[in-house]
Amino acid sequence: MAKPGLSKIRSEIDAAGLRWQAADNPISRLRPEARTSRLGLAVPPGERERVAQAMVTAEAMRAVSAHAGERDWRDVGGDDFVTPIRDQGNCGSCVSFASVATIESQARIEYKEPSWDVDLSEAELFFCGGAACAEGWWPVHALEYATEHGIGDEACMPYADHDLVCNLPDDKADRMLTVGEWQEVAGVEQRKGWLDTNGPMIACLAVYEDFFAYDDGIYEHATGDLAGYHAVSCIGFNDAEGYWLCKNSWGAQWGDGGFFKIAYGEAEIDTSFAMYGVSGITGTLAPEEEHEESTGIADHVVLRSDARADVLFAHVDGAWRHLSISNRRAADLSDVAFVAGQVSVTYEGERITALSSWMTK
């Protein structure tokens, strides 16, 4: 497969008057077969034709862009509901990464916790869902798995960019999220409505050779052959400039910190593929509760030591609070600290932050 050079891509962009910039990056420097392995959307036979019948034309979509409207889930009243950029590596697991990214964002939105460090297992979704690196996958299959089985956190099955045997811990049920329902959305205005009021969506697109060198701006195909098909998480749109805003899974050194803008109707994103939204996220994973700091007098204090840790327990305000400490810190505690009725304890939830005049670090 021919790989257009950077100068060729830039000259074609300039000649066509396009609104994006190309640059050398870790993905564009890969060999053609390695770049192709960064894709992985396995399109079912007849799918593009089925969706195309439900789509408006690219020209009509661009006319729609005259209407005011935009959304960026990275900045909603100053809150960022999009989880960090990941890297699928040398495996055609883009569908899993796009699905997990969308579900993670939806969890932050529905739990109203934009700072929640939720990190689900792309490896579980992909490999336990029956997919393989060389074969790729399809979003419907990923969403069916996430609905029926849920997805554990990253520690349940850490990701590696080669085929893995599905091996989940016994306690996955204690640390997972499940999709309540999902929806295929074909119409452009309906997608914007979902993105505006619900959250990000899984999107699919054709990838041409010039896309690997994307750096910034609003992508439109300038030059190069079709490399394959890809899935990403669409996190917003902008009607004034006519683009979808998407989160990729090629690391933060590609594109605009791992993100990209793509023009309405470009690379088959609107003409051959639907988008998919999720909702009703539930499960045993939850954001850590924030507690206001309180101070009370302990009626009982116990210091327990074993080979792993020294833990001080104080019963204050009707509950046991705890603090892990070192032997040095334990030696610094005066005898008076262990006299019932004389120990002032400051705590947040179950965690002790200060004991008498001895502060935690």
Contact 322, 312 (CB under 8 A): yes
Q: For the chain, how big is the Rg over CA atoms in Å?
A: 25
| Cα–Cα nearest to 143, from 173, 182, 89, 191 | 182
303: β partners:
312
Virtual CA dihedral for 326, 329, 331, 337, nearest 10 degrees?
A: -120
Among 91, 204, 230, 234, the active-site one is: 230
Alpha-carbon torsion 208, 210, 215, 218, what sign? negative
| Cα–Cα nearest to 333, from 346, 320, 343 | 343
Is 315 noted as a catalytic residue in this protein?
no
Among 91, 94, 156, 234, the active-site one is: 94
| Cα–Cα nearest to 262, from 280, 242, 277, 290 | 242
| Cα–Cα nearest to 146, from 85, 102, 86 | 102
Is 94 noted as a catalytic residue in this protein?
yes
Is 128 noted as a catalytic residue in this protein?
no
CA angle 40/45/49 to nearest 5° reads 105
Among 204, 234, 246, 248, the active-site one is: 248
| Cα–Cα nearest to 263, from 246, 251, 282 | 246
Give how far Cα 118 sits from Cα of 76, 115, 153, 208, 270, Å: 18, 9, 8, 32, 30
Alpha-carbon torsion 217, 220, 224, 230, what sign? positive
Write out the catalytic residue numbers.
94, 230, 248
